[in-house]
Amino acid sequence: MIKKLCISLLVVGVLIGGLAWLLKNEADGVNDGSPDGELLNVVTTTTMVTDMVKYIGGERVHVHGLMGAGVDPHSYQVTFKDTAALKKANLVFYSGHHLEGKMQDVLEKRKESKGGVFAVTDAVDDASLLKPQEEFEKYYDPHIWGNPSTWTNCVDEVVDALSEADPEGKDEYVGRGEQYRKQLTDLHEWIMSRVAEIPAGQRVLVTSHDAFFYFGKAYGFEVRGLQGISTNSESGLKDRADLVAFIKQRGIKMIFPESSVNKKGIEAVAEEAGVKVSEHELFSDAMGEPGDTVTLHGETYDKGTYVGMMKHNVNTIVDGLK
């Protein structure tokens, strides 16, 4: 009897030990796809941040983006695999200003315990930031990438952090940072030329949620969203009624759904207002699928890049409103 009990305890001990080993390996990021020391291991949150870090990091950096196309960062839930990747990362970049919602608490805890965590929008001067309305009044509007000229400021945060972690690669990071900055400057000029095709009185942009105020301010659009700054703020009946009345009053031709927000709300508004919904979704809080390349107005771009995402949005808005 004692012998059987000892054998049973031994078996249980082996099973528990094996389970503990598996959990430890998973927590250490064995399955997170990151390299084992040959490259700087970097974790990013939103697709816009991932695009910037991948470009500037080049071949010296392995970038693991936590959020993919169509993912809403406002309501994103951290997974066990995310926790493992964050634990193993040399550096972590996120957007900031509470765009990532509750995940920001996780990122700040990682920064306190291990360091190496950077909000790219910390590089943007407060004077360039917009204050959101209603329940988020104590925070700045986090949708800063809507204005490429302002988003350009985030390049320095990435270049400096990568250069400090990998001094041998500093010249490469600085050079690629300047290349990326040039792309954003060219993008801004391109947007200005395309938006000029819309008469000023027709530059009214109605979308699923308030993610386009930076874009609107930069390019002369009046912007209205069905939901607030965060998609966690559900629109009420009064919000919808007010928006319907606004659309009718202004004689708006078309309103726009977003890739990371359920279409039902904006479609209901369109039906009540008797207005068209664009067949093309705008990218607000996430870019498109990498490799989703289109040719329009004589140029080809990838909607899975920041530049391609912005060109898709602008082409969709201009073609819909002019």
Among 122, 117, 121, 52, which Cα is nearest to 91's? 117
Q: Give the contacts of 158 (CB within 8 A, at least 6 positions apart).
A: 52, 53, 56, 57, 93, 118, 120, 173, 177
What pLDDT shows up at residue 230?
Answer: 46
Decide which of 241 and 93 is more confident: 93
Taking 90 as the threshold, does the pLDDT of residue 264 lie above it?
no
Backbone angles phi, psi at 296, to 5 degrees: -145, 140
Decide which of 23 and 199 is more confident: 199
What pLDDT shows up at residue 242?
Answer: 87
Ramachandran quadrant class, 284 (left: phi over 0; alpha: psi -120 to 50; beta: rest)? alpha
Same fold, 40-186 and 188-321: yes
Decide which of 78 and 208 is more confident: 78
Taking 60 as the threshold, does the pLDDT of residue 164 lie above it?
yes
Q: Torsion angle of alpha carbons 74, 80, 81, 87, nearest 10°?
A: 90
Backbone angles phi, psi at 34, to 5 degrees: -85, 155
Taking CA atoms, 205 is separated from 39, 182, 219, 257, 301, in Å, by 43, 27, 11, 11, 23
Taking 80 as the threshold, does the pLDDT of residue 262 lie above it?
no
* Third-level CATH fold of 40-186: Rossmann fold (3.40.50)
* Third-level CATH fold of 188-321: Rossmann fold (3.40.50)
What pLDDT shows up at residue 134?
Answer: 57
Decide which of 234 and 277 is more confident: 277
Decide which of 24 and 73 is more confident: 73
What pLDDT shows up at residue 227?
Answer: 67
Taking 90 as the threshold, does the pLDDT of residue 30 lie above it?
no
- Model pTM above 0.75: yes
What pLDDT shows up at residue 246?
Answer: 92
pLDDT in tens, 43-70: 999 999 999 999 999 999 999 999 999 8
Task: Share the mean pLDDT of the chain.
Answer: 86
What pLDDT shows up at residue 15?
Answer: 40
Give, to the nearest 10 degrees, the angle between helix 47-57 and helix 306-321: 130
pLDDT in tens, 113-159: 999 999 999 999 999 999 875 555 678 999 999 999 999 999 999 99
Taking 50 as the threshold, does the pLDDT of residue 29 lie above it?
no
Q: Give the contacts of 186 (CB within 8 A, at least 6 positions apart).
A: none
Listed by start position, the domains of the chain span 40-186, 188-321
